[in-house]
Amino acid sequence: MSADIVDTARGGGRVVSFTFDDGPNPIDTLRLLTVLRRHRIAAVFFLCGEQVEAHPEVVRRIVADGHRLGNHSMHHDDMTTWSPERIEADLRETNEAIRRAVPQARIRYFRAPYGAWGSSPEVAAALGMQPLGWRLAVGDWEPPGTDELVRRLRDGVTPGAVVLLHDGGGDRSQSVDAVDRAVPALRARRWRFALPAC
Ligand SMILES: [Zn+2]
């Protein structure tokens, strides 16, 4: 476990990892799980503790489908100026919320809200979570239309990129639809989908 922020997918060549932040979010997360199952892709879900407490059953569905979990803090706060002690308390509270939903959950990763890392990589690593960044963000927090999201995914991927997408924080139906359309388009160009490198 290292405090270095990892942003690479496992394997060489045309491989990418999809990650989904800010859920669980009942309608869009459940639709996304159906899409990922149909395309046989495993992803990482960065969960917000307050969302977990509101929708624990969706976390159980994520785990049952074989995806990996990440800690994305309790309330999606910017931690840039927080002390390590305050960050640790928040990350522990988030993990406890996840484990109330899924008692045996393995929480492998941490991602700071807004990528505002501050002291959080060291804290996360000490708690056994790998800080995971990204190389491609498609701006789906301001939904630009599904066609545009598909274009940004198709044209934006680079070999080994971790890709940041969102299943929570608002209406993410465009993100779900874009994944459903981009995956076959990328596979046709010989891209593969894998979990992160660590
Ligand atoms: Zn976020």
Query: Whole-angstrom Cα distance, residue 49 to residue 38?
Result: 28
Contact (CB, 8 A) for 87 and 79: yes
Question: What are the tens digits of pLDDT across the range 147-162?
Answer: 999 999 999 999 999 9
pLDDT tens per residue across span 74-110:
999 999 999 999 999 999 999 999 999 999 999 999 9
CB 47 within 8 A of CB 59: yes
- Whether the predicted model's global pTM rises above the 0.85 cut: yes
Look up 147 and say whether it is catalytic: no
Q: Is 80 exceeded by the pLDDT of residue 1? A: no
Per-residue model confidence as pLDDT tens digits over 176-193? 999 999 999 999 999 999
pLDDT at 58: 98
Q: Which two tokens stand for residue 124?
A: 């996360």
Residue 185 Cα to ligand 1 midpoint, Å, equals: 26
Helix, coil or strand: residue 177: helix
**Secondary structure (DSSP) of 132-151:** B--SEE--TTS---HHHHHH
Residue 128's pLDDT is 98
Tell me the pLDDT tens digit for each residue of 21-67. Answer: 999 999 999 999 999 999 999 999 999 999 999 999 999 999 999 99
21 is known as an active-site residue: yes
CA of 107 to the centre of ligand 1 (A): 16
Active-site option among 166, 167, 177, 180: 166
Choice among 21, 28, 167, 180 that is catalytic: 21
Amino acid at 60: R
